[in-house]
Amino acid sequence: MALAALTRGQAGGMRARRAGRRSTGGARDTGGTILSPDEVLALLPQQEPFRFVDEILEVSDNHIVARYSFRPDADFYRGHFPGHPVTPGVILLECIAQVSVVSLGIFVVALESGLDAVKEGLALFADAHVDFSGIVEPGERVTVSAKRVFFRRGKLRSKAEMHLDDGSMVCSGTISGMVVPR
């Protein structure tokens, strides 16, 4: 059953529990928890200087949309084509992974297994097939959108796209990650 997308404004930081699924008596919470975009962002384990998600605009059980602005003073620009810096493809892939695998995975795991399961697991990159069709220069903002292909046995696969603010596509493809115990 698909849920309507929650935007930051709609969610307003509120959490809701799906009826009848929460454990009682101090046992582990196994009930589904619907997280707001801000709550998903707060649970994202990557931190500065290696966090490539500024805001999550929409999230549901089958899609996510998020943005990131590449800081002109990021250290990797110093050596990646001095004089004409370009964001490395592996950093673009990391940005896509943090949105379409980690952030979407946090939402899906919380929804299906509860907040405790999110805190006990760690989403790791597994594989990707990405086609690059543009570049990202220092200071540019990207929007990453992803749709869930599947989530089973702790593995999430998503189809993702990255676009610049002008709408031009930077890259697209499929990316997978898996949840492992912390």
The two tokens of residue 42 are 């707060």
Peptide bond into 85 cis (omega under 30): no
Question: Annotated catalytic residue: which of 80, 84, 129, 163?
Answer: 80
Which residues, in sequence order, are CB contacts of 34 under 8 Å at separation 6+? 3, 6, 15, 16, 17, 18, 110, 111
The two tokens of residue 72 are 């002109």
Nearest-angstrom CA–CA distance, 78 and 176: 30
The two tokens of residue 84 are 């004409």
- Cα 88-59-13 angle, rounded to 5 deg: 115
Q: Active-site residue 80, yes or no? A: yes
Q: Residue with structure tokens 């290696």?
A: 50
Q: Where in the sequence numbering do the catalytic residues fall?
A: 80
